[in-house]
Amino acid sequence: MTAAALPAIPIAKPLVGDEEKRAVIEVLESGQLAQGSRTEAFESAFARYIGTKHAIAVNSGTAALIVALQAYGVGPGDEVITTPFSFIATATSIIACGAKPIFVDITADDFNLDPALVEAAITPRTKAVMPVHLYGNPARIDTLKAICDRRGLALVEDACQAHGAEHQGRRVGTFGAGCYSFYPTKNMTTGEGGIITVDDDEVARRCRIIRNHGQERRYYHEHFGLNWRMTDLSAAIGQVQLGHLETWNEARIRNAAALSERIRALEVPVTLPSCRPGDRHVFHQFTVRIANDRDGVQQRLQAAGIGTGIHYPIPIHEQPIIKEMGFGEASVPLSEQAAREVLSLPIHPSLTPADIDRIATALDAAVRG
Ligand SMILES: *Cc1c(COP(=O)(O)O)cnc(C)c1O
């Protein structure tokens, strides 16, 4: 069979099975569809998995970011330091709170916030720092936490791609408030959904209030909140998925090692993803750098039946709406270079050894033109 005749390998493949179906039917039959006991049980299980005292489930990763920022009191007049090399929700969640995103550059090795630049960007208006653990690779989160502690700033971790990632033996999402997404392409899903992990009792309490129309007692609204609640239908899917997460993460890590080895053996001129010693990268994405003609390589891979993704082609500060709203100013050359060079290859748990071989061989051919 020629390569062209083989079925295409998708960039992402959500795994849902009979267990999830049964769990959803059980919830449907129970009559309790909105946030209830399933959501509470899922929160406890997720908090245990991450290693925080609390977890607060919401209806998206974006909601998790907004609710966490608001729980720390981020609002109009405040600045939040973040990375422009991420999905747009990292910045729009800050803007949704009425605050200003301040974009500082990444380091070339891990695509994540450079702590030295964060420190230099702090002003009297800075209220929080929001690093992203991009692709599932931990940011230098202990250094960032030390800066935040010293300067009295909130630390909100965008861990939407990093379920189970670890920095020096400690799970991400335990350093500040961890914000996770359960969108179908993430390492685990609830359809749509998100969650905040945090140790601080008061921040957790505020998250719960903000999630539910700002009420502690029904129909008494002392705080500002909206409806960010997760449904029990989603939570039931999440409970099942969480049970598989470690198996799937291990499969991603194994696939990444195997794919790296094949690409190295073929001496393909690309820069492979790296992970600092002592850290655990959970490979939400396996992203290489291609110095020349990245878009051409992507097209040739597409023709060879290999699904790819560009995460992300335009840094956030260059997005039209961000410029239009007046947040486009940033000096971030490494982020701009990364946006030109990155290409994500399939790494999901259902890949076979033959798939991995085919991806490496097709990449080699595509890069060599
Ligand atoms: C997916 C993602 C989000 C948003 O999560 P949703 O559940 O889609 O709202 C935010 N930040 C990053 C880095 C993401 O990958």
Structure tokens at 38: 């399933």
> For ligand 1, is residue 92 a contact (CB within 6 Å)?
no
> So what's the pLDDT on residue 2?
52
Under 8 Å between Cβ of 364 and 3? no
Give the atom of ligand 1 at the shortest distance from the alpha carbon of 132.
13
Give the DSSP H/E element, type plus range, for residue 149.
Answer: helix 141-151
Identify the residue whose C-alpha is closest to ligand 1 atom 10: 89
CA of 143 to the centre of ligand 1 (A): 24
The answer to whether the CB of 160 is under 6 A from ligand 1 is yes
Phi, psi angle pair for 248, to nearest 5°: -70, -40
Q: Return the ligand 1 atom nearest residue 185 CA.
A: 1
Fold annotation for 245-367? Aspartate Aminotransferase, domain 1 (3.90.1150)
Show me where the domains of the chain are located. Answer: 18-239, 245-367
What is the chain's length? 369
CATH tag for 18-239 (out of 3.40.50.170, 3.40.640.10, 3.40.50.720, 1.10.287.70): 3.40.640.10
Residue 91 pLDDT: 98
Beta strands in the chain (DSSP E): 54-58, 79-82, 100-103, 126-130, 154-158, 166-167, 170-171, 177-181, 194-198, 215-217, 220-221, 286-289, 342-345
What's the whole-model pTM score? 0.97
The confidence score (pLDDT) of residue 222 equals 85
What is the model's pLDDT at position 369?
86
For residues 164 and 282, the answer to whether their CB atoms sit within 8 Å is yes
How many angstroms is it from 214 CA to the middle of ligand 1? 24
- Counting as low any pLDDT under 70, the low residues of the chain are 1-4
Question: pLDDT for 178-213, tens place per residue?
Answer: 999 999 999 999 999 999 999 999 999 999 999 999
pLDDT tens digits, residue range 242-274? 999 999 999 999 999 999 999 999 999 999 999
